[in-house]
Amino acid sequence: MAKKTFKDIVKFYDEAGILFDEFMAMHYSLFDSFWTPAADLFVTDEAVCLMIEIAGVKKEDLTIFLAPTWIHVRGLKESPKTYDQGVNFYKLEIPYGFFQKRVALPYRIEPKSLKINLKDGLLTLRMRRKEKGVEIIKVE
């Protein structure tokens, strides 16, 4: 049996993340529409920052998964209560329902260093850059 290298372990976690995304897309599509929010990703000398536009989403409706090489955010944006039965739409561009965003990171991060800020419809995730180790955590 071949010796497993660090790159093999990271590749395994990345492939597991892809399978997880496919499962979630299949699961959510059974219930409602499925959409992907816009995001910006940038780095500094010490941190990796991801901003995701999710206006109208409550913090308690978010789930964030972190690994050293990717971030997966999923959640639910409920439609406004003003959408009663019998409403006729003439334009419907704002997405509602389940959403997800998975982003591959340009640098490895320390998942436990995550700082979360949700303000004015913008989710900002900031994590320290890291060089070694593999760890996946779920944040709720």
Q: Is pLDDT at 1 greater than 60 in this prediction?
A: no
Q: Please, what's the b/e burial string for 117-133 (b: 16 or more CB within 10 A of its CB; e: otherwise)?
A: eeeeeebebbbbbbeee
Average pLDDT, integer, range 17-44: 72
Q: What is the CATH number of the domain that holds 30?
A: 2.60.40.790
d(CA 140, CA 92): 30
pLDDT for the residue numbered 8: 67
pLDDT given for residue 140 in this prediction: 63
Task: With respect to residue 10, please indicate whether it lies within any of the assigned structural domains.
Answer: yes
Residue-wise pLDDT tens digits, 76-113? 998 877 766 777 778 888 888 899 999 999 988 988 89
Residue type, 74: R
In a domain, 1, yes or no: no
State the Cα–Cα distance between residues 36 and 96, nearest whole angstrom.
Answer: 10
Span 60-76, average pLDDT: 92
Which residues constitute the domain of residue 69? Answer: 6-80+87-139
The model scores a pTM over 0.75: no
Mean pLDDT for the stretch of residues 61-88:
86
Asked, for residue 122, whether it belongs to a domain, the answer is: yes
Q: Is 20 exposed, middle or buried (0-12, 13-18, 19+ CB in 10 A)?
A: middle
Based on the structure, what is the number of domains in the chain? Answer: 1
Give the Cα separation of 104 and 67 in Å (integer): 10
